[in-house]
A = this chain, B = another copy of it.
Amino acid sequence: MQYFDCDYLEGAHPAILERLTATNSEKTPGYTTDAYCEEARHKIRTACGCPDAEVHFLVGGTQTNATVIDALLRPHEGVAAVESAHINQHEAGAIEAGGHKVLALPHRDGKLYADTLKSYLRDFYADETYLHMVRPGMVYISHPTEYGTLYTRAELEAIAGVCREYGIPLYLDGARLGYGLAAYGTDVTLPVIASLCDVFYIGGTKVGALFGEAVVIPRPEPARQFFSIVKQHGALLAKGRLLGIQFDTLFTDDLYWKISRHAVDMAMLLSRILTAKGYEFRFSPQTNQLFVLVDERKAEELRRRVTFSLWERRDDGRVVIRLATSWATKEEDVRVLETLL
């Protein structure tokens, strides 16, 4: 069987396991207050170019989104996001459990566009009854998006500009951020993101860690007590150093970027193979996720030899399947897959 259904099939990059093993018998204080976490924070601040940033380590993506959104919003506010956003589709109502509506906006290829956001906000405040409606209190985007697509720097700047105009914070979900940063041709870097977003997170779970997400607040306001909100959400790891060690490793010698680039390279190789075989893509390949149009019969045949996600059934007898590479994908895996396509 060839496995291309997601980017969290394996454990962790070996360097991480080695350090966890090497440090296993050390005794450290808990709850991310240890020296490994401090060191990882330092490296992340440096990589982001924001020396005053708060950096918090959480375990998983859904809990990170729920915690950040809860921390940023007042009770009557909601979070604006594209209809296809992870928080709107696949978090089992975690945002609503915190009391907040996801204000779903239309997307193009999974991306929120500044004009869409602006016209939504303009119309909202133009409505006489807007005080009876859920106030858009923040904007959520993800980079890469659910469809593996990427924002350009100019697009992010435009969104951030609208947010500033309306006085609402911008939050970027970076569950797969590495694969976005390591994409070819992108002009979006960590410092760019840190300069435009009010909060974002750097995903570890899907980019080489056993688990873990690093929330960055580039310009923290005093007295927000994010730590306690993390605790309240059950997202504070007792043995917090496990997160510190992982992110310290990922942010040493560009490991995070290197393993992400490898995944992108594998995806680009696979996309060339697919193109050569005449397959079309639902979204233009940019990161580690490929959304491929396949005849239904072919998809059924493939399923016996390859794991993938079924994304969409179309009326033209084709389905959209998702093939994902990761830091762990080997070129030989892609070559075997080639023979099956």
Nearest-neighbour CB distance to chain B for A211, whole angstroms, equals: 6
A339 in contact (CB, < 8 A): no
Q: What are the residues of chain B within 8 A of A236 when measuring CB–CB?
A: 60, 62
For chain A, which range describes its interface: under 10, 10 to 19, 20 to 34, or 35 or more residues?
Answer: 35 or more
With A and B bound together, what is the CA distance between A26 and B25 in angstroms?
26
Could you say which of B59, B67, B91, B98 contacts A231, with CB atoms under 8 Å apart? B91
A89 in contact (CB, < 8 A): yes
A220 in contact (CB, < 8 A): no
Nearest-neighbour CB distance to chain B for A127, whole angstroms, equals: 9
Given A10-B27, A211-B237, 13 more contacts at CB 8 Å? A8-B30, A10-B25, A17-B21, A20-B210, A59-B59, A59-B60, A76-B93, A89-B133, A93-B100, A97-B232, A97-B233, A131-B227, A206-B238
Q: How many copies of this chain does one complex carry?
A: 4
Residues of A within 8 A of B (CB): 3, 6, 8-12, 14, 17, 20-21, 23-31, 59-67, 70-71, 74-78, 89-94, 96-102, 104, 128-129, 131-135, 205-206, 210-211, 225, 227-229, 231-239, 242, 310, 328
With A and B bound together, what is the CA distance between A23 and B77 in angstroms?
36
Q: What are the residues of chain B within 8 A of A21 when measuring CB–CB?
A: 17, 21
With A and B bound together, what is the CA distance between A210 and B14 in angstroms?
17
Nearest-neighbour CB distance to chain B for A174, whole angstroms, equals: 15
Say yes or no: B205 contacts A239, CB within 8 Å. yes
Say yes or no: B238 contacts A92, CB within 8 Å. no
Nearest-neighbour CB distance to chain B for A316, whole angstroms, equals: 18
Say yes or no: B62 contacts A234, CB within 8 Å. yes
Say yes or no: A8 contacts B239, CB within 8 Å. yes
Nearest-neighbour CB distance to chain B for A253, whole angstroms, equals: 20
Say yes or no: B233 contacts A211, CB within 8 Å. no
Could you say which of B30, B94, B101, B229 contacts A234, with CB atoms under 8 Å apart? B94
